[in-house]
Amino acid sequence: MQTGSPRSFIFPKNFRSKKWILCGVALVLAISTFVVIDKHRVHSAPQADDPKCAKVTSLAPEEVSGKARDWTIGKGVIAWGSGSATLRCGVDELPPNVNLCISVDGVDWVLDEVTLEEKGVSVLRTYGRSPAVELTYSGPREEVGGILASLNTAVDWIPQEGKCVGSGDISY
């Protein structure tokens, strides 16, 4: 290469040295590792340290709605299908509310109707159980019932302290 050519300003003279190549490879690996790890991070819920959450995650199925379980980073969390479905144990318990409640095999789940309307994402939280468990699902809505049924074994053993009521449950 001639001195003063444009290339001599872009690349150092010893660009092909092993040091530069190793530094470049190390930088690429470090960035790739960060991106891959961050993709699998699911934020833990406030009460994720509750020992019951460890049991919930251990009892959760390996597959939901045909989607395999992902490896995740975070306490009391699970994901399936590259994060299309996530479960977080230890979320805040819901107070009584007027949102849609779905009872699946004896477990009451309350739908966050605002998030569904605004983002098209189904977010459901157990009602009347402590710690509370939250499912977030970004796939077709018709699959939610099957996913909740598959999570039943992981959740139904948590003692039920309250339940959803409808207008038919109230006496005047």
Q: For position 135, what pLDDT does the model report? A: 97
Residue 110: strand, helix, or coil: strand
Name the β-bridge partners of 136: 86, 123
d(CA 21, CA 6): 21
pTM of the model: 0.74
Residues in the chain: 172
Note the pLDDT of residue 2.
53
pLDDT of residue 166: 73
* pLDDT lower than 50: segments of the chain: 1, 8, 30, 32-40
